[in-house]
Amino acid sequence: MNTVSAFIAIVGRPNVGKSSIMNRMLGQKVAIVSDKPQTTRTRIMGVLTQGECQLVFVDTPGLHKPRTRLGENMVKAVGDSVGDVDACALVIDCSDMRSDLSPSPAEAELIERFKKSKMPAVLVINKVDLLEDKSKLLPIISAYSALYDFAAVVPVSAVDGSGVNDLIKELSSFAEESPHYFADDALTDQTERTLAAEIIREKLLRFLDKEVPHGIAVGIEKFADRVTSGGEDIIDIEAIIYCEAESHKGIIIGKKGAMLKKVSSKAREDMEQFFECKVNLSCWVKVKEDWRNRQGLIHNFGLD
């Protein structure tokens, strides 16, 4: 039997659950998630191979009005993704609908992109676990279906997994005969260094005040495997957390180093689970003022 593949962009406004849905489809966490908007900063690919069919999901930043050069890069990543794939999954949040059920400006812009490019698209209605009355989905489906001829409409919950297998089935219908672009056991295009940095950033997003995390970047200075005399595999990781102000540095470190220790400990636990070995993690904090508007630093952090 011939192999088939498809590239699927997962798009939508910030905080609708795009990364959570991709992680749920993969059965493995490869993109960080948080309750803060613009968690995803670059295009992240997740790879799902089931038999002869390989789906490559492109998890994109939430489409928003940019206020920094980094924000402009994030919005550009969405546009580039929509132009480079076989189909799109437009994710909306049924628990946070406008009173008239009309799409947000960001969603309307994406739908216009679909129309211009005649992009095959699936409407994914996320967070249905938060709806006590599922009949409320019908007017949402009607409102969005009137705007675009979606190939399918799939209600899902990234939290409990309901509807996710149906979504995979619908997205698989876009796959066409081609070689697999990734090894069949691949999960993502992200390097181990990038994954480690993102795990640290996720913990910072979780534990810090909402004003601080968007001004944070994480660089991995060292990522080295070694084997102890007792035959135990260990990864030594040294990371630098960059922030934009001395006041933020104090918040990240915390009283007597408590916050940095908490972040490092939780990040190490996730790393050990993902890399399946012991991790020795060391983190430092440095200030890089206004780095989100400095293209050279954005490039150094791999965010352009």
126, with CB counted inside 10 A (0-12, 13-18, 19+), is: buried
Residue 271: predicted pLDDT? 93
pLDDT in tens, the chain (304 residues): 689 999 999 998 888 999 899 999 999 888 766 655 455 545 678 899 999 999 999 887 644 444 555 445 444 544 454 557 899 999 999 988 888 888 888 888 889 989 988 999 999 999 999 988 888 899 999 999 999 999 999 999 999 999 999 999 999 999 999 999 989 998 888 888 988 998 998 899 888 866 565 678 898 999 999 988 888 899 999 999 998 888 889 999 999 999 999 999 999 999 998 888 999 999 999 998 876 676 655 555 555 5
Locate 244 and state its tokens: 């934009």
Domain 4-177 and domain 192-300, same fold? Reply is: no
Residue 294: predicted pLDDT? 63
Full DSSP string of 191-252: -HHHHHHHHHHHHHHHHS-TTSGGG-EEEEEEEEEEE-TTS-EEEEEEEEEEES-HHHHHHH
Q: Which fold has domain 192-300?
A: GMP Synthetase; Chain A, domain 3 (3.30.300)
Residue 74: predicted pLDDT? 46
302, with CB counted inside 10 A (0-12, 13-18, 19+), is: middle
Measure the CA–CA gap between 140 and 138, rounded to whole angstroms.
Answer: 5
Contact 303, 217 (CB under 8 A): yes
The letter for the amino acid at 251 is I
Q: Which fold has domain 4-177?
A: Rossmann fold (3.40.50)
Place of tokens 């050279």: 296
Contact 115, 148 (CB under 8 A): yes
Locate 33 and state its tokens: 């998630």
Measure the CA–CA gap between 198 and 225, rounded to whole angstroms.
Answer: 19
Place of tokens 């534990």: 207
231, with CB counted inside 10 A (0-12, 13-18, 19+), is: exposed
Calculate Rg over the CA atoms of the chain: 20
Locate 165 and state its tokens: 């297998």
Residues 6+ apart with CB under 8 A from 33: 17, 19, 20, 23, 39, 202
Residue 81: predicted pLDDT? 46
- Domain ranges in the chain are 4-177, 192-300
